[in-house]
Chain A
């Protein structure tokens, strides 16, 4: 079929026309995403990088120019003030630390909750599998903000949990859950769970059932089979899921802002404050650049995990 398309006259005319401008079909296909990444990722990144080396000032835009025209030509005005500021003020380091900590533990919790769910979905029969997958994806149908607000209603002092526990008589005073790290963890794990479950499911569903039978046949109890066969073979899926949760959670802004208290000091919130409250764009940009550098390692891990997934598919 493809043969007949390639051999058709219009196809060959188009190809010849494009070739006149040095474009092959392959080049054209790659050009679209390349252009997209260039315009919407690389250029904004360079802009942010540029601002991070500027100085804050009351102006429009609120930062100094990097290249300034002088009488003898122009001068470069690089300032490392924002970066210096980040290192000197303990607030920023603490915020990075706490973001990484919260992201790390949320990832662990999401893995602990998500793995059994993904495993169960992958092992259930065809019809059930689709229903369960649908249930995992369904929260995306409503607004993320709305769902986080709903958690306020559940966790607050006179919310559902406290009302229930008090009506049964287990507690006399309402538990303080809102505006604590606990609420932030709940919100994050709840929100990011699908990102853990889906790559894990994609990995586990491909697991060759005959490997499990072979393990059992060679004398392994079901739990041993899980530890020696299922778990190691699902590592790429676990890694992918963990990184898909960890990377965005580090920069998460909305959940700590809505569910967290004043002590919840995450880098996303600091970033917001710098941009919109202090209008200190250079410092905010520096915060963003450093966050990117911090995330380079997990992003590389994610790449590796995806490579691993692809390799196991071709095997």
Chain B
């Protein structure tokens, strides 16, 4: 599904120790007055990666991107692109191009003139520019729109022009600020895959800023989750989803049920957690580095919970509750189940048959269980 599956594991440069990063961000900080927008961020991105910076508004992801483009000057720290220190290099001399969230197409120029703008500034010959613009228009499937002005285009078409304009100089690094944010859902999904295709065919390193976790999961080779100016976790999409390192990441990516608890038994191969919120003992089938009686959180995704009318065997990992609400989403149904402790748990079931008269419904008493390795133990 996502781009990184197309690379074999040993082709992933970030997994090879000693591999030289293409973009090296070291201890980068940006302050606006007292406000710290980007806080001591260090990050390595490798050649031909499609790296996603994911975070809510105000998390500093856009500021980080703007520092890479040269629109903001870092308060401290360094940025290196392909071995070259970017300090003091103005934006018009950087080997980066940016696709703006608002697209920032020049309204007084035609589509062709917009796309040609970058090459013209470099003094490329006219015939050469015409050829490259035609190629670019073909790549983004806009060949018939070259003579139009931006205000004669739809949102999706403008997005393509903006992409073509930022790609034509073959930058070492392409920065994309919420590239699909202004498109409707259907168009966004189509464009995501096109973007990946274009990125792979050109081999240009992409750095995408987005607040949409689905978009990040689909596009990225790796995701960097940002919160309050810091990068809290960097990893491949499955890693971020299945092995979040904090409650923030677990909660930000997808939906999750979180139970507070205390370590009851800590062994090399398992942990038992006592949780009043869950009303059951939680058994985790792998070792966790923790100390006895330590407070921690157990997180489990809704799709990993199994619903049952009858009480399953065993004495741990069993929740009992009342179905409060069922939301039918088409491909799956979302159950909201109220536990005896008052906590509401979300569980999803995929709808494998078209009509199920036996389906669990409102106000039924149900049991929830899960595999002993399905959840994550979080320390903070």
Binding site for B on A (CB under 8 A): 208, 210-211, 213-221, 224, 228-229, 232-233, 312, 315
Contact = CB atoms under 8 A, between A and B. Distances in A.
Nearest to A233: B108
Contacts of A213: 69, 71, 91, 98, 100, 104
Contact of A217 (B98, B102, B106, B151): B98
B98 to A, nearest CB: 5
Contacts of B102: 208, 210
A214 B106 contact: yes
B121 A217 contact: no
Contacts of B91: 213, 216-217
Interface in B97-118: 97-98, 100, 102, 104-108, 117-118
A218 B107 contact: no
Given A210-B104, A217-B98, 15 more contacts: A211-B104, A211-B107, A214-B105, A216-B70, A216-B90, A217-B71, A217-B97, A218-B165, A219-B121, A219-B122, A219-B169, A220-B121, A228-B117, A233-B107, A312-B107
B27 interface: no
B104 A214 contact: yes
B227 interface: no
Given A213-B71, A213-B104, A315-B151, A218 B117 contact: yes
* CB-CB nearest 5 A-B residue pairs: A218-B118, A219-B121, A214-B104, A210-B104, A216-B91
B308 to A, nearest CB: 53
Interface string B70-86: 11000000000000000
A229 B120 CA distance: 14
A216 B122 CA distance: 12
Contacts of A228: 117
Contacts of B90: 216
B106 to A, nearest CB: 6
A217 B117 contact: no
Contacts of B169: 218-219
Contacts of B104: 208, 210-211, 213-214
A215 B92 CA distance: 8
B66 to A, nearest CB: 8
Instruction: Indicate the member of A214, A233, A312 with the most B CB atoms within 10 Å.
Output: A214
Contacts of A312: 107
- Bin the interface of chain B by size: 20 to 34
A218 B97 contact: yes
A233 B107 CA distance: 8
16 contacts: A208-B102, A211-B106, A211-B107, A213-B69, A214-B165, A216-B70, A216-B71, A217-B166, A218-B118, A218-B121, A219-B92, A219-B93, A219-B118, A219-B122, A224-B121, A233-B107
A96 B70 CA distance: 54
A229 B106 contact: yes
Given A208-B102, A210-B100, A215 B117 contact: yes
B96 interface: yes
A232 B108 contact: yes
A83 B29 CA distance: 76
Contacts of A220: 92, 117, 121
A208 B100 CA distance: 12
Nearest to B94: A217
Given A219-B122, A233-B108, A214 B151 contact: no
Instruction: Indicate the member of A208, A217, A220, A233 with the most B CB atoms within 10 Å.
Output: A217
B209 to A, nearest CB: 14
A214 B107 contact: no
Nearest to A314: B151
A294 B165 CA distance: 46
A210 B105 CA distance: 9
Interface string B255-296: 000000000000000000000000000000000000000000
A112 B166 CA distance: 35
